[in-house]
């Protein structure tokens, strides 16, 4: 993106940020979540795995801010410590599908031909499945593990990146700078890596930031169903699933706090995606 | 019309691709299905071999695929290990439960989201507009399984105005005679007011939960499409010609804005098919999603395979309908 020797562009970004306080909130929330994810275990008052049946199912209090679950574990500690895992799953899945999808989309967009036809048809077929259902089936097929939740989430998102990279790249194949590079003796791969992929990066990054919130919801939904993360690992989706049994008998806190954490994180990602789109898309920035 | 015909034909290769992927998915599934079928410890190695032969598992993958296709053509989705019943029969029994829930949720979302988006578009930047944007952003950020559980807490546990989330009908009531499989409609047909009321109350919370999630993209798209339509030349012309505001907004602008909204509806429906699984789990809803989840837990793969196939087929059909509707409401799309 922008090199540090472009003060004008930075000023534009800062001005745009200041004008829209919601964007500032999004960046703030995102920074906070990253900080909690990194520091997680250092911040919490209790061991997130330590059970103590003497204090099971207690509502929020001064000693247990978010209350305790059916095994007497401190929910505040569990919610905080879970941040890292939830964030890593979402980031890992989105990074995987963005990199793999961009490269594949760029290659078929550049060369076209039979490979393009085959991959495009495959993408059409993948997009014919409801995303969450396909992710569910993939985790069941690949095996019930956290890594496979990441792969499944990445695979179901792959088509969007392939399509986007392909459609962004195609019209650029014949542009002046590509011709110039070719005249200068650059080979196809060099043109692709050095000239074309950097030029289509912005829309792909925007797509990735919009995608993060969805990836997190998808992964948490899978673990809510018992796929991927296993107890007693603290993870928001599985914590909600554990609390679901108690919602009909009034212990609301077991579901509410991990649920709120999940919602806040997804909200931060969605706002961040909107903000990045406004900032990086010069057509929208005025 | 040729355009519609071509579109219908183009769905066939996609459907075939879906069948291939669904088939391959179950072949990479861990474990040997024959060993699952022959889970009886008294079975010898030769018995297991017999089961394998019976299932066609000893033949090359290509043959196995043909057998699978042949079974599909006869409507045979295999047999569930857990229930011992054909998967297709179980689906037929459960599909109305899922369909009733999803359709009501979709209807709720459209009825609320389109007017919301419309009002926001008429006054961009106003308090209403900001409120709609806030609702929309919160809506997409809220996991369905969390909002469902919180709604249960508030309306069942706290307020006590809605029944316990234990399926489609109070266990003390008898299901109405089956006509459509939709309990509310069947109750109306057989004239059982009490059953209708009970079934509707059970439906309400899961439907609202799903609708909340679907609301956001629909409201957003309606707003954007209406703003675009209201700013276009033909609306300016209509204004200059002195047409009434209501007529301009509701007839000319809305009709033109419906095109992207209908496309979004197709996308929203895909979300809902996925969210269905989570909502059915939360509300103990006896639909096909709950069946699929139980089957994953029991390592029972035929129902899961059938589920994925049925969902993809429904989704392809929905997209087909959306495209056809698009052609019908936009004459420009017809060649």
Structural domain span for residue B273:
91-300
- The residue of B18, B143, B316, B323 whose CB has the most chain A CBs within 10 angstroms, and thus the best one to mutate to test that interface, is B143
Structural domain span for residue A228:
5-284
Interaxial angle between packed helices A21-43 and A253-280, expressed in degrees from 0 to 180 and rounded to the nearest 10: 130
Report DSSP state, residue A247.
G
Kindly state the percentage of chain A with pLDDT values over 90.
30
Select, from the ranges A154-163, A178-187, B135-144, the one with the highest average predicted confidence (pLDDT): A154-163
Report DSSP state, residue A68.
B
Give the pLDDT of residue A103.
93
Is residue B149 in a domain?
yes
- Work out the pLDDT band at B332, boundaries 50, 70, 90: low
Q: Which residue has the tokens 């963005």?
A: A98
A218, B140 in Cβ contact below 8 A? no
Kindly report the nearest CA distance between residue A45 and chain B, in angstroms. Answer: 26
Q: What is the pLDDT of residues B237-280, one digit of tens each?
A: 888 888 888 888 877 888 888 888 888 888 888 778 888 899 99
For residues A234-261, give the mean pLDDT: 88
Give the pLDDT of residue B35.
55
Cα A209–Cα A215–Cα A220 angle in degrees, nearest 5: 140
Q: With contacts defined as CB-CB under 8 Å, which chain A residues touch B28?
A: 141-142
CB atoms within 10 A of CB B288: 28
**3-state SS, residue A74:** strand
* ipTM score for this prediction: 0.84
Give the pLDDT of residue A179.
83
**3-state SS, residue A240:** helix
Q: How do the residues of chain A divide into helix, strand and coil, expressed in percent and rounded to 5?
A: 75, 0, 25
CB within 8 A of A207, min separation 6: which ones? A98, A160, A161, A164
**Token pair recorded at residue B178:** 């089956």
- Work out the pLDDT band at B56, boundaries 50, 70, 90: low
Q: How far apart are CA B249 and CA A95, in angstroms?
A: 44
| Sign of the CA dihedral running A107, A108, A111, A114 | positive
Q: How far apart are CA B116 and CA B133, in angstroms?
A: 10
As for how many domains chain B has, the answer is 1
Name the nearest CA neighbour of A210 among B37, B312, B137, B46. B137
CA distances from B90 to A14, B172, B183, B287 (A): 59, 23, 17, 10
Give the pLDDT of residue A100.
95
> Which neighbouring-strand residues pair with A74?
A68
B275, B144 in Cβ contact below 8 A? yes
Among residues 129-168 of chain A, which lie with CB inside 8 Å of chain B?
A: 129-134, 136-138, 140-143
Give the pLDDT of residue B335.
45
CATH number of the domain residue A198 falls in:
1.10.3720.10
**Token pair recorded at residue B283:** 């509300």
- Among A98-112, B100-114, B119-133, the least confident range: B119-133
Q: What is the pLDDT of residues B207-235, one digit of tens each?
A: 999 998 888 889 988 988 888 888 888 88
* DSSP-derived secondary structure for B76-145: ---B-TTT-SBHHHHHHHHHHHHHHHHHHHHHHHHHHHHHHHHHHHHSTTSHHHHHHHHHHHHHHHS-HH
Give the pLDDT of residue B55.
64
Does position A202 have pLDDT exceeding 50, yes or no? yes
As for how many domains chain A has, the answer is 1
Q: Taking the C-alpha atoms of A243, A249, A253 and A259 in order, what is their torsion angle to the nearest 10 degrees?
A: 50
Q: With contacts defined as CB-CB under 8 Å, which chain A residues touch B142?
A: 263, 266
- Tell which wins on pLDDT, A209 or B145: B145
CATH number of the domain residue B199 falls in:
1.10.3720.10
A220, B143 in Cβ contact below 8 A? yes
B169, B175 in Cβ contact below 8 A? yes
Q: With contacts defined as CB-CB under 8 Å, which chain A residues touch B137?
A: 267, 270-271
Give the pLDDT of residue A4.
43
Q: How far apart are CA B272 and CA B103, in angstroms?
A: 10
Give the pLDDT of residue A220.
93
Q: How far apart are CA B60 and CA B55, in angstroms?
A: 12
**Token pair recorded at residue B69:** 């296709």
Q: What is the pLDDT of residues A15-37, one digit of tens each?
A: 666 667 777 888 888 899 999 98
Does position B23 have pLDDT exceeding 90, yes or no? no
The shortest CB-CB distance from B141 to any of A140, A255, A266 is to A266
Buried b (16+ CB within 10 A) or exposed e, A46-64: bebeeeeeebebbebeeeb
Is residue B76 in a domain?
no
How far, rounded to the nearest angstrom, does the alpha carbon of residue A149 sit from its chain's CA centroid?
13
CB within 8 A of A4, min separation 6: which ones? none
**Token pair recorded at residue B43:** 């079975």
For residues B50-73, give the mean pLDDT: 77
Does position B63 have pLDDT exceeding 50, yes or no? yes
**3-state SS, residue B86:** strand
Kindly report the nearest CA distance between residue B166 and chain A, in angstroms. Answer: 11
Q: With contacts defined as CB-CB under 8 Å, which chain B residues touch A117?
A: none
Q: What is the pLDDT of residues A60-86, one digit of tens each?
A: 887 777 888 888 788 888 988 899 999
Q: With contacts defined as CB-CB under 8 Å, which chain B residues touch A264?
A: 141
Report which secondary-structure segment, H or E, holds A176: helix A176-183
């Amino acid at each position: 993106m922008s090199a540090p020797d472009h003060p004008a562009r930075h000023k534009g970004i800062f001005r745009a940020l200041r004008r829209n306080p919601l964007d500032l909130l999004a960046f703030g929330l995102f920074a906070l979540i990253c900080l909690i994810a990194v520091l997680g275990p250092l911040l919490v008052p209790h061991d997130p795995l330590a059970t103590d049946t003497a204090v099971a199912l207690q509502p929020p209090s001064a000693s247990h801010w978010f209350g305790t679950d059916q095994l007497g574990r401190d929910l505040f500690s569990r919610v905080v410590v879970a941040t890292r895992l939830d964030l890593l799953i979402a980031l890992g899945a989105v990074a995987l599908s963005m990199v793999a999808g961009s490269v594949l989309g760029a290659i078929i967009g550049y060369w076209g031909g039979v490979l393009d036809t085959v991959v495009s048809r495959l993408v059409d077929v993948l997009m014919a499945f409801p995303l969450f259902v396909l992710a569910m089936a993939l985790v069941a097929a690949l095996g019930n593990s956290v890594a496979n939740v990441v792969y499944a989430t990445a695979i179901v998102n792959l088509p969007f990146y392939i399509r986007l990279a392909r459609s962004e790249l195609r019209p650029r194949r014949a542009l002046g700078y590509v011709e110039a590079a070719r005249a200068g003796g650059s080979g196809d791969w060099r043109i692709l890596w050095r000239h074309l992929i950097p030029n289509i990066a912005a829309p792909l990054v925007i797509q990735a930031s919009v995608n993060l919130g969805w990836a997190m919801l998808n992964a948490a939904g899978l673990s809510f169903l018992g796929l991927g993360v296993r107890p007693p690992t603290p993870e928001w989706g599985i914590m909600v699933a554990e609390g679901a049994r108690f919602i009909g008998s009034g212990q609301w806190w077991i579901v509410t706090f991990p649920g709120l954490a999940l919602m806040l994180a997804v909200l931060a990602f969605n706002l961040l995606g909107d903000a990045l789109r406004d900032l990086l898309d010069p057509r929208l920035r005025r | 019309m040729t355009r519609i015909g071509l579109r219908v034909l183009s769905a066939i290769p996609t459907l075939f691709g879906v069948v291939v992927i669904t088939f391959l998915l179950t072949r990479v599934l861990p474990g040997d299905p024959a060993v699952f079928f022959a889970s009886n410890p008294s079975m010898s190695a030769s018995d297991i071999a017999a089961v394998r032969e019976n299932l066609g598992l000893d033949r090359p993958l290509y043959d196995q695929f043909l057998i699978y296709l042949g079974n599909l053509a006869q409507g045979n989705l295999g047999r569930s290990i857990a229930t011992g019943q054909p998967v297709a029969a179980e689906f037929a029994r459960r599909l109305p439960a899922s369909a009733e829930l999803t359709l009501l949720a979709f209807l709720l979302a459209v009825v609320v989201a389109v007017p919301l988006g419309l009002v926001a578009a008429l006054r961009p930047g106003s308090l209403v507009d900001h409120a709609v944007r806030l609702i929309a952003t919160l809506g997409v950020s809220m996991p369905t399984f969390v909002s469902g559980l919180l709604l249960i807490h508030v309306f069942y546990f706290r307020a006590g105005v809605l029944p316990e989330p234990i399926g489609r009908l109070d266990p003390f009531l008898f299901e109405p005679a089956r006509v459509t499989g939709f309990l509310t409609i069947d109750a109306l047909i057989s004239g059982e007011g009490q059953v209708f009321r009970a079934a509707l109350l059970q439906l309400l919370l899961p439907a609202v939960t799903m609708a909340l999630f679907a609301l956001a993209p629909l409201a957003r798209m309606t707003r954007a499409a209406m703003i675009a339509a209201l700013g276009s030349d033909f609306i300016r012309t209509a204004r200059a010609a002195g047409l009434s505001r209501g007529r301009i907004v509701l007839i000319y602008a809305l009709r033109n804005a419906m095109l992207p909204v209908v496309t979004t509806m197709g996308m929203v429906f895909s979300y809902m098919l996925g969210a269905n699984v989570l909502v059915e789990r939360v509300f103990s809803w006896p639909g096909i999603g709950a069946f699929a989840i139980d089957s994953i837990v029991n390592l029972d793969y035929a129902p899961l395979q059938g589920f994925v196939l049925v969902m993809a087929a429904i989704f392809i059909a929905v997209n087909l309908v959306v495209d056809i509707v698009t052609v019908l409401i936009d004459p420009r799309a017809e060649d």
